[in-house]
């Protein structure tokens, strides 16, 4: 019979492994749907708690955007993100690198600079294609669609 702590470790490992397979920066709810296929008894609360713990440990990173549900990234290397303003999808992007080695910048005031996050806003290829297609037909803009949840389809 497995112990409580073995189960916890197994759950945390599953959350981490499934997150690292994805480049779609899932929300806790999206990742829960995926992890549940592997561990049917896991709860959304457990997935959420493990994501928070892994974020605190620096094993994963949490992407927080004002007014948006937090998304998680298994890649902790410094990299930029681009978020589609239409469907909310988040992709990795090469971002210009800033040199913080001096620890200060002219306009940083009294702050010692430690790190930075770059997030671009844009319109993803799917939404651009959708906008073109519906535009030519004179229809209303596309609804927020399911493309961000592709990974949930069987």
Q: Please give the residue ranges that form the binding site for Zn ion (CB under 5 A).
A: 73, 84, 86-87, 92, 124, 127
Query: At its nearest, how many Å lie between Zn ion and the CB of residue 122?
Result: 8
Instruction: For Zn ion, give the closer residue by CB, 18 or 42.
Output: 18
- The strand order across the sheet containing 119-122 reads 90-93, 80-84, 119-122
**Ramachandran angles phi, psi of 5, nearest 5°:** -75, -30
Instruction: For Zn ion, give the closer residue by CB, 43 or 133.
Output: 133
How far is the first Cα of the chain from the last one, in angstroms, to the nearest whole number? 32
Query: At its nearest, how many Å lie between Zn ion and the CB of residue 148?
Result: 7
Q: How many whole angstroms separate alpha carbon 60 and alpha carbon 58? A: 5
Query: At its nearest, how many Å lie between Zn ion and the CB of residue 53?
Result: 19
Instruction: For Zn ion, give the closer residue by CB, 12 or 89.
Output: 89
């Amino acid at each position: 019979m497995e112990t409580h702590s073995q189960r916890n470790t197994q759950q945390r490992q599953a959350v981490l492994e499934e997150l690292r397979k994805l480049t779609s920066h899932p929300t806790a709810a999206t990742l829960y749907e995926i992890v549940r296929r592997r561990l049917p008894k896991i709860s959304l609360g457990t997935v959420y708690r493990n994501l928070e713990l892994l974020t605190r440990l620096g094993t994963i990173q949490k992407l927080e955007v004002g007014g948006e549900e937090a998304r998680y990234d298994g890649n902790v290397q410094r990299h930029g993100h681009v978020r589609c303003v239409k469907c909310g999808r988040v992709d990795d992007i090469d971002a210009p690198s800033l040199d913080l080695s001096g620890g200060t910048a002219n306009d940083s005031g009294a702050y010692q600079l430690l790190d930075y996050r770059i997030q671009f806003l844009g319109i993803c290829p799917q939404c651009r294609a959708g906008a073109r297609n519906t535009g030519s037909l004179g229809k209303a803009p596309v609804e927020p669609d399911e493309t961000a949840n592709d990974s949930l389809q069987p």
